Each structure stands twice: as C-alpha cells, then as structure tokens.
C-alpha cells in the first residue's frame, strides 16, 4: 500500500514552531508500506519556523492578521498532484492543522478552541476522492 503522510508525524522538523509531531503509532502503522512524506506548508513556500496560522472566515491567516492563504493552497495543490501521480491509497494527516486537519481545526480565534472542519489539504484530498485518516485515529486504536 502507498501511504502519504504528514512529514511532521515522521519526525521532520517542519511545524510552525520548528518542531515535529513524531508519533510511534503512525511509524508502526507505516511499517511495510511505501511511505511518501509531505508538508503542504513547506511545499507552499512557508519557512520553518513560521507564525502560527488558522483558518479565519475561510482564509488561512497568521496570528498577526496576514493572509497566508495563497501559500497554504499552493502547497496543498502541489501535494495533491503528488498524491495523484503516486496513486496513493491513503493519506495520514496531522490533527487540527490548518493544512492537514481531517476532522477538526482551530476556530480562527487563536485561542486553542477546536471546531469541526478540515484543513485546506485535507479538504482538497476529499474533493478528489482520496482517502484520508487523522493521526489521532491511530492513537485511539
């Protein structure tokens, strides 16, 4: 099986704060599969570290009020094209991210409050019929 995965879950330091979200359960789940790590935010040209972003009224915006929507959407499109080209079977994404959140994202107030919703990459994958899984689903299992 070919699985695309948020690079931060594999220990790549690409999070907004310069760190990662390495997850043993994700790494174990991926054993024996072809793995394609991606970070849509880095693919969109954003630096590491970077100012935190959330989706505010449908626009990806950083905590200083600057739109980063173009970069987020460009990175999501690049990663979508890679998923299509590689014919991935599944994409495992980082929970709550404005790019990769599958079930929930932050509400845009930068207060840590979560709402139902999807990040821009997760939404794009779903629109193209590509199966996504939130990394938290592996932690529950």
Sheet strands (E) in the chain = 2-6, 34-38, 53-56, 59-62, 90-93, 104-106, 114-116, 132-134
pLDDT at 141: 57
pTM for this prediction: 0.96
Which 8-state DSSP code applies to residue 56? E
Which residue shows structure tokens 């590689």? 86
Q: Within 10 A of 59 (CB to CB), how many other CB atoms are there?
A: 15
Per-residue pLDDT of the chain (141 residues), as tens digits, is: 999 999 999 999 999 999 999 999 999 999 999 999 999 999 999 999 999 999 999 999 999 999 999 999 999 999 999 999 999 999 999 999 999 999 999 999 999 999 999 999 999 999 999 999 999 998 775
pLDDT at 140: 72
pLDDT at 103: 96
19, burial (CB in 10 Å: exposed 0-12, middle 13-18, buried 19+): middle
Architecture of domain 2-52+68-94+120-140: 3-Layer(aba) Sandwich (3.40)
Tokens of 56: 């505010």
């Amino acid at each position: 099986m070919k699985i695309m995965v948020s690079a931060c879950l594999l220990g790549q330091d690409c999070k907004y704060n310069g760190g990662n979200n390495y997850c043993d359960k994700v790494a174990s789940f991926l054993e024996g599969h072809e793995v394609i790590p991606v970070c849509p935010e880095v693919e969109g040209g954003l630096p590491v570290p970077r100012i935190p972003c959330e989706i505010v009224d449908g626009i990806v915006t950083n905590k200083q009020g600057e739109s980063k929507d173009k970069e987020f959407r460009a990175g999501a499109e690049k990663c979508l094209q890679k998923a299509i080209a590689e014919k991935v079977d599944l994409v495992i994404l980082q929970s709550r991210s404005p790019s990769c959140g599958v079930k929930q994202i932050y509400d845009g107030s930068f207060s840590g409050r979560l709402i139902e919703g999807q990040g821009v990459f997760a939404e794009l994958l779903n629109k193209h019929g590509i199966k996504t899984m939130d990394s938290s689903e592996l932690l529950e299992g």
